[in-house]
Structure 1
Amino acid sequence: MADKHHYFFAVKLPNDVKSFLHNWIEQNREKFPFKRWVHEADYHITLAFLGFAEEEMKIKSIQSVSSAISDIGPFSLTLSNIGTFGSPKSPRIFWAGVNESQILNNLQKQVYQQCIEVGFQLDKKPFRPHITLARKWEGEQPFDINSLIPILSEDGKEVSFEVNEVVLYETHLDKSPKYKEYAVFSLK
């Protein structure tokens, strides 16, 4: 039986931002004892999670998304703070956020809508752009909400970056890194 991979559309982060986040984690990891840390190559901002996708639907979504975002050009995002999803005392997801961006919100709406029109059943939760850094709190003490701080460079400055690509990733749960680029869309 063939492997059934899951797929998702996401904003691809530049390598220097991935390295910055990885280094920030290495310096702060002891403060945040999570069980599983995301591989630095796998950092991204999810736009639409498709789950398993038949070949025909994948092809249609690639064509549809490519056309829908063809008029969106590169844009800047700025890392903002860290946060969590799940129980406040024992979070399941630890993430880095980005400042509010209307362009990012519009991009997500375009991608999401195209996937719905192709026939995918997508999560209806509101879009909360984030970069997952780790999963499953395993600290001896409950998570302290006051430990959530802005993510800044060593000299205290915000970290901004240019978004140039959207990617359709394929998930390989048995590998690390586990996300493989399946299709890439350059923003022009």
Structure 2
Amino acid sequence: MRAFVALELPEPFAGEVSALARQLRPAVAGRFMRPETYHLTLALLGDIGEPEAARAVDVLDEVCERCGAVRLSADGLGTFGRPHDATLWLGIALTEELRALAEAVRSGLEERGIAYDRKAFRPHITLARRARLPQGDLPELVFPGPERAYRVALFKSELSQEGASYKELYHIDLG
């Protein structure tokens, strides 16, 4: 199964992210993500089996009891890929508590022999895929206000013609 560990967005923040995406739709062509798919990936595990998933749950149990809630602050928009075929995302400020949580999760995965994508941690929430960005300026945007996140989860990713859907396999509250 394709899996990842992510910070779940609190409801008010997710609603404001959705409102931001609605503001962008008239100016940006692409496949916008459904609000129920919003999350902040801490570690992308890729294809794993049941034994690795069980060990990942152990990591979350151990790490999350030591970490408190994490502050989320919008930090502008960014893209991966080319302007005519990009992934558009909302950046999240890399606070010390967010960095520490991501490092603790990744370190715990490594200690238990669970492979993950080792790219540098860049906190973001994917807004759209296959996005075609306009040549000019974007409209005036209202970004989400700061909020605290309290839950980390292990998700299974399932791909289909309509895009990815995510099934929560396990979650735990921080602190």
**Alpha-carbon deviations, 1:143-163, whole Å to 9, x = none?**
4485497x635xxxx611111
- Aligned residue identity for 2:117: D
Could you tell me which of 87, 91, 94 is aligned with 1:97? 91
Deviation at 1:28, TM superposition (A): 2.3
- Is 1:106 aligned to 2:96, yes or no? no
Tell me the equivalent position of 1:161. Answer: 147
More strand by share: 2
Q: For residues 164 and 118 of structure 2, what CA distance do their matches in structure 1 show? A: 28
Question: Within 5 A, what are the aligned runs for 1:18-167?
Answer: 18-34=14-30, 36-87=31-82, 89-138=83-132, 143-144=134-135, 147=138, 152-153=142-143, 159-167=145-153
Q: Helix, strand or coil for the counterpart of 2:100?
A: helix
In the TM superposition, what whole-angstrom CA distance separates every residue of 1:62-103 from its partner, at most 9, and x where no partner exists?
Answer: 11231123111113211121111112x324210001123111
TM-score computed with the length of structure 1 as normaliser: 0.83
Q: Which has the larger displacement, 163-172 or 177-186?
A: 177-186
Distance 2:116 2:139 in 1: 30
Tell me how far apart the structure 2 counterparts of residues 41 and 168 of structure 1 sit (CA, whole Å): 15
Which one of the candidate residues 145, 164, 169 is aligned to 1:182? 169
- Three-state SS of the structure 2 residue aligned to 1:7 is strand
Distance 2:109 2:84 in 1: 33
TM-score w.r.t. length of structure 2 = 0.88
How well do the aligned residues superpose, as a CA RMSD in angstroms? 2.2
Does structure 1 conserve the Cα–Cα contact (< 8 Å) formed by 2:4 and 2:45? yes
Cα distance in 2, alignment partners of residues 111 and 144 from structure 1: 39
Q: Answer yes or no: is the 8 Å Cα contact 1:169–1:183 preserved in 2.
A: yes
* C-alpha distance in 2 between matches for 1:48 and 1:138: 27
Contact 1:39 1:176 in 2 (8 A): no
Residue identity over aligned pairs, in percent, reads: 26
Describe the shift of the 1:145–1:53 C-alpha distance in structure 2 as closer, same or farther (beyond 3 A). Answer: farther
Q: Higher Cα Rg: structure 1 or 2?
A: 1
Change (3 A) 1:65 1:59: same
How many residues are aligned here?
174
Q: Unaligned 5+ residue runs, structure 1?
A: none
Letter in 1 for 2:45: L
Q: Which has the higher contact order (CA 8 A, sep 6+)?
A: 2
1:38 deviates by 0.8
Moved more, 49-58 or 176-185: 176-185
Partner SS state of residue 127, structure 1 = coil
The alignment status of 1:10 with 2:12, answered yes or no, reads: no
Could you tell me how far 1:132 is from its partner in structure 2?
0.3
